[in-house]
């Protein structure tokens, strides 16, 4: 008797979300089964890879980590372009390291201008990631949303402690949010419900369940 792979069929599916704008926009989601379980369902969109860029020069990276980005780590725009042009990055994840209140504590206006310059210099989707300090992220990410209106940035982390102000700014200025919770499906669902109550549609919410 021929072997038949045991299958579990699911009634639901992951929503598709479009990230970025223009020809280099990418679509994620859409799966109707576990990742790569193509024998059970569909996986219409392959995983997308974002390369990380910092908004300030890393001071504690090993030489081996710095070497591929020699000459650009003090310039986020040049760094992002190198990731795209030399290494084929499908997306850029801009870490706002300099805004950490326990570090350089760069103000919101300055950080937002850096994000704007990067967003205007690249044509792939741009993820903008704060420091997970609720007060600082609220200030910085709201300003980023405003300065980069209509760029469809992917803004995060949006957590329960700051979801109202950041979520409202992202919605008002037309950006996607990354809802971040600990590894608990109920907490993830609750945060999505809270964002939905603000008016943020499911199509503008990316779930990050692994904080």
pLDDT of residue 210: 75
The backbone region for 137, taken as left when phi is positive above 0, alpha when psi lies in -120 to 50, beta otherwise, is alpha
- Domain 46-208: give its CATH superfamily: Dihydropteroate synthase-like (3.20.20.20)
Q: What are phi and psi of 152, to 5 degrees?
A: 50, 55
This prediction has a pTM of 0.94
Please measure the distance between the N-terminal and C-terminal CA atoms of the chain and give it in whole angstroms. 46
* Sheet of 50-54, strands arranged across: 50-54, 91-95, 126-129, 154-158, 176-180, 205-208
**What does the pLDDT profile of the chain (211 residues) look like in tens digits?**
788 888 998 999 999 999 999 999 999 999 999 999 999 999 999 999 999 999 999 999 999 999 999 999 999 999 999 999 999 999 999 999 999 999 999 999 999 999 999 999 999 999 999 999 999 999 999 999 999 999 999 999 999 999 999 999 999 999 999 999 988 899 999 999 999 999 999 999 999 987 5
The DSSP symbol for 55 reads S
70 CB contacts (<8 Å, ≥6 apart)?
A: none
Q: Tell me whether the omega of the peptide bond preceding residue 157 falls within 30 degrees of 0, making it cis.
A: yes
Question: Can you give the residue ranges of every domain in the chain?
Answer: 46-208
Q: Tokens 């024998």 belong to which residue?
A: 39
Q: Specify the DSSP class assigned to residue 16.
A: P
């Amino acid at each position: 008797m021929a072997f038949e792979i045991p299958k579990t069929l699911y009634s639901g599916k992951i929503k598709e979300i479009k990230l970025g704008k223009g020809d280099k926009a990418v679509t994620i989601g859409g799966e109707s089964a576990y990742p790569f379980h193509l024998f059970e369902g569909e996986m219409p969109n392959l995983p997308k890879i974002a390369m990380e860029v910092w908004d300030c020069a890393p001071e504690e990276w090993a030489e081996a980590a710095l070497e591929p980005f020699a000459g650009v780590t003090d310039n986020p725009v040049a760094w992002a372009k190198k990731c795209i042009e030399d290494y084929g990055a499908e997306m850029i994840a801009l870490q706002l390291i300099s805004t950490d209140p326990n570090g350089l504590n760069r103000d919101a206006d300055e950080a937002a201008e850096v994000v704007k310059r990067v967003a205007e210099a690249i044509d792939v989707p741009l993820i903008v990631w704060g420091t997970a300090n609720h007060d600082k992220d609220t200030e910085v990410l709201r300003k980023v949303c405003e300065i980069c209106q209509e760029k469809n940035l992917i803004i995060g982390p949006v957590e329960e402690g700051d979801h109202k102000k950041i979520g409202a700014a992202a919605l008002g200025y037309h950006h996607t949010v990354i809802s971040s919770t600990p590894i608990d499906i109920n907490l993830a669902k609750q945060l999505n419900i809270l964002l939905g109550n603000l008016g943020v549609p499911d199509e503008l919410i990316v779930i990050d369940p692994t904080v």
